[in-house]
Structures are given as C-alpha cells and as structure tokens.
C-alpha cells in the first residue's frame, strides 16, 4: 500500500496535479469571499517579525499570499502566571502607529486613533479579503510555561477561557476603549507545547495535563460559542507519537476543534549530531535513527487514535534546518556534523527565501518527499515549491483538511511556497 502511495505521489507531481481539478478564477474568488474553500490554507504571522525582519502585514498583500490563504494564525498571545491571557508585545499588537507605506490600504494610522499596529492592519487585510479568517495563537515554544497551572482546576479553566475571549475576541485591550479590538480575531488557536511532556526549559508539566487539555478545550469552546457561534477553535499538535499520547485525548479533543494543525517539521534538526530530513513526507527506510519520523507516520498515528482525516491540517516549513562540518563522500545525508550551520537570525535555521538562492548542489528524493542542499561542508534540509506540490497532492489523496505554514515571513517576495500549496489545495 505504501509503495502504491509513493508511486501515486510521484506521478501526481510529474504530471502536474497543480493544474488539474481546481476551480476557475471566478470560482476561486467566490470561495474566498464566502469562506467555502474545500481545504484550509493556514499560515502563521509572527508578531515580532515587524522588527528585525521588517515583515509587515502589508507584505502578505503585496506578495499575493493573502488572497491564497483561508486562515492567518497570529503568533503569539501568552498565558500569565495568574492564569489569564495577555499580549506579550502591546506595542507591536495595537500601539505602534503604521506609516502609509507600510499600511495595507496605503493610509497611515492617525495619532489619535485607538487601534493601531498589527491588529488594525489585520483588520484592513480582512476587509480586502472577506473570506479570510484570523486566529490568535496562544502559547508557542516560549509562551507555554504556565498553561498547566492555568487549566488545573474548573475555576482556573473558566477564568482562562473568559480572559482569552474578553481580550482577543471581544477586543477589550488594555489602555483602549472597550471593544476597540473587536472584529480582528475570528477564533483561537491553542499552541501549548506540550501538555504532559517536555517543551521549553522551565515549563510546568503534569501527567494530568492530558485530561485538563480536553477539559479546557471544552470550556473555551463553550465560552467562545456563547459570544460568537461562528468563532473557530483550533490547536497545534506534535509530530511524535510519544508526545501525542502523553498530552492529548485525540478523539475527545478533535470533537471540540474545528481542525488541528500538525507539526510536519523539526523531525530532525541541529540538536542532533548528524544530518537528516527535517520535514520528510514519507518514512525513509534508510534512516538510521531508532525512531523514523515522517509526516505520513504522524497522520497515521492521529487517525489510528480517532482523529477525523478532514480535520487534520498538515504543517509545512518555510525554513530549513542546517548543519556545518559535514564531511561525506556522498550527498551528506545522515552524515556526522560538528554543529549548526550559520543562519541569518539563529544558528541552524534559515528562511526559504535565502536558501533558494544559496549555492551548493541540491538533491531530491521523490520517494520520501524531500530536497536538501549540500556543498561539502553545510547541509540544509528544507521544502521548496516542488516538495510542497507533492505534499499538497498527498493531502488531497489522503482526504486531509489542508496545509499550515510556519511562517509566512520566510516565504519569498512572490509567495512561491504559498502559491504552490494554493495551486492544489482549493
């Protein structure tokens, strides 16, 4: 069966599935207006990207990405030690005045207007694309420390849900008139990394996180629907089966969610001393690691635990994992390395838009759905548009819910990765 799947995916890409079974331009525009897209096309927008990276909300419009997405997850809102939702950066979120050249509609923020910053720009972007939904994503790698405490008791769960709805959906932002931020967010994305298992250093972890996560999703769902019956609740789930089992009652959680995005990247990375695929679609039988990860394996793990296929949205990376000091007579795959390769923003990672122009020989394996770059010293595992066509074909063939990208600022100025997914998943 797996051999047949691999052959089908190869044929799909080789024959240009992207050009088949897709709506006309008029149909696509109608779908975008009504929100009736068959597949979810989600991308994360990082709050801090407006600083060093200088990636603004407007850039999603300029590149054409905004019109090819169904959802934007705004990363991140945090959970406080007191068990309430709060903004980690009010300046970026709603206080920073946006000049005309950075504004979605070309109009600068007025000095005396209440809502400014990224949130006002997201509101303007939604006005241009009426079918587009924006969700506030809670947690992330550095923002999940206090989740366990905040969902420990019924009273705590009620308080956390109420504060999140009040802040992000009702738009009662500190320092602004009541409801000034209303209409920006259409729902909430839970990005607790990870219930019941290790995440960032210092995170609070309890065995009962697994049940409490389910109880919290139910309470949050209840309060969200009481405020707006159309609001959406999603969650980000890990790739490893051990983390899924430690933290998630899969069938019960999916009953509460509109859909879940699944970690389809960081399967291997520079925390390991040998190279590997960071986001391979299918399992590589040559992988020497004791646990062989793949996107397909994670999907099968979730389905076997009760996840509906149509609610599984596959995560794809717009960045690569890179190693240096890689000496190999071959293509560098599974070779020892001395450490992470230099990166623009952090060692061991690099944006697709930079990797696409990086010199070196590229290797492609259609049997695993991978591409990598090796120059005799540095090894970079990443996804390019051809790989994303193969992953999009897989999503369609398996009857899954769509794709999610981390993160949109790492795509190039033409939105090449976003466009590859859009060409198939609509």
* pLDDT tens across the length of the chain (426 residues): 455 555 556 555 544 443 333 333 334 433 443 446 899 999 999 999 999 999 999 999 999 999 999 999 999 999 999 999 999 999 999 999 999 999 999 999 999 999 999 999 999 999 999 999 999 999 999 999 999 999 999 999 999 999 999 999 999 999 999 999 999 999 999 999 999 999 999 999 999 999 999 999 999 999 999 999 999 999 999 999 999 999 999 999 999 999 999 999 999 999 999 999 999 999 999 999 999 999 999 999 999 999 999 999 999 999 999 999 999 999 999 999 999 999 999 999 999 999 999 999 999 999 999 999 999 999 999 999 999 999 999 999 999 999 999 999 999 999 999 999 999 999
pLDDT digits (tens, 9 = 90+) for 287-311: 999 999 999 999 999 999 999 999 9
pLDDT score for 133: 98
pLDDT score for 37: 81
260's tokens: 């879940």
Place of tokens 């999940």: 144
Place of tokens 């995916």: 9
3-class DSSP assignment, residue 255: helix
89's tokens: 């950066």
Q: What is the CA radius of gyration of the chain?
A: 21
The contacts of residue 425 (CB under 8 Å, 6+ apart) are 38, 39, 41, 392, 395, 396, 402, 403
What residues pair up with 403 in beta bridges, in sequence order? 41, 314
> Using an 8 Å Cβ cutoff, are 187 and 224 in contact?
yes
CATH number for the segment(s) 2-319+383-424: 3.20.20.80
pLDDT digits (tens, 9 = 90+) for 86-138: 999 999 999 999 999 999 999 999 999 999 999 999 999 999 999 999 999 99
In the residue annotation, 193 being an active-site residue is answered as yes
pLDDT score for 6: 56
3-class DSSP assignment, residue 425: coil
> Using an 8 Å Cβ cutoff, are 71 and 133 in contact?
yes
Q: State the catalytic residue, choosing from 61, 155, 193, 198.
A: 193
Q: What is the pTM of this model?
A: 0.93
Residue ranges of domains in the chain: 2-319+383-424
pLDDT score for 14: 44
3-class DSSP assignment, residue 403: strand
The contacts of residue 406 (CB under 8 Å, 6+ apart) are 43, 44, 265, 315, 316, 317, 318, 319
> Using an 8 Å Cβ cutoff, are 381 and 275 in contact?
yes
Q: What are the backbone dihedrals phi and psi of residue 80, each rounded to the nearest 5 degrees, phi first? A: -80, 165
CA atoms within 13 A on the CB side of 406: 22
148: enclosing H helix or E strand: helix 147-150
Mean pLDDT of the chain: 93
Query: How many Cβ atoms from other residues are within 10 Å of residue 130's Cβ?
Result: 10
How far is the C-alpha of 122 from the C-alpha of 119, rounded, in Å?
5
């Amino acid at each position: 069966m797996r051999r047949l799947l691999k052959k089908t995916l190869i044929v799909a890409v080789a024959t240009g599935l992207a050009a088949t079974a897709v709506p006309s331009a008029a149909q696509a525009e109608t779908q975008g207006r009504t929100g009736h897209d068959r597949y979810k096309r989600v991308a994360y927008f990082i709050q801090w990207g407006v600083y060093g990276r200088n990636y603004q909300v407007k850039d999603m419009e300029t590149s054409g990405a905004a019109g090819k997405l169904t959802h934007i997850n705004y990363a991140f809102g945090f959970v406080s030690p007191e068990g309430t939702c709060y903004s980690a950066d009010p300046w970026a979120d709603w206080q920073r005045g946006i000049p005309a050249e950075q504004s979605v509609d070309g109009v600068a923020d007025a000095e005396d207007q209440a809502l400014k910053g990224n949130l006002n720009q997201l509101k303007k972007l939604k006005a241009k694309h009426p079918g587009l939904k924006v969700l506030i994503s809670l947690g992330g790698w550095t923002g999940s420390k206090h989740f366990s405490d905040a969902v420990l008791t019924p009273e705590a769960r009620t308080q956390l849900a109420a504060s999140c709805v009040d802040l992000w959906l009702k738009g009662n932002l500190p320092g602004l008139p009541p409801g000034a931020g209303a209409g920006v967010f259409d729902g909430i994305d839970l990005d607790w990394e990870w219930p019941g298992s290790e995440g960032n250093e210092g995170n609070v972890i309890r065995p009962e996180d697994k049940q409490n996560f389910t109880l919290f999703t139910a309470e949050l769902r209840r309060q969200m629907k009481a405020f707006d019956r159309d609001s959406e609740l999603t969650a980000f789930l890990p790739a490893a089966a051990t983390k899924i089992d430690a933290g998630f009652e899969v069938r019960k959680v999916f009953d509460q969610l509109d859909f879940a995005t699944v970690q389809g990247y960081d399967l291997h990375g520079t925390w390991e001393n040998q190279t590997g695929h960071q986001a391979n679609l299918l399992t590589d039988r040559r992988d020497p690691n004791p646990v062989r990860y793949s996107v397909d394996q994670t999907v099968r793990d979730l389905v076997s635990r009760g996840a509906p296929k149509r609610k599984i949205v596959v995560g794809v990376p717009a960045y690569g994992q890179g190693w240096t000091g890689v000496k190999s007579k071959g293509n560098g795959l599974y070779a020892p390395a001395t450490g992470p390769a230099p990166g623009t923003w952090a060692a061991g990672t690099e944006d697709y838009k930079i990797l696409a122009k990086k010199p070196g020989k590229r290797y492609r394996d259609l049997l695993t759905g991978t591409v990598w770059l090796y120059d005799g010293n540095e090894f970079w595992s990443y996804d390019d548009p051809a790989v994303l066509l193969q992953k999009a074909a897989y999503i369609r063939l398996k009857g899954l819910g769509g794709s999610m990208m981390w993160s949109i600022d790492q795509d190039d100025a033409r939105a090449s990765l976003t466009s590859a997914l859009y060409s198939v998943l609509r």
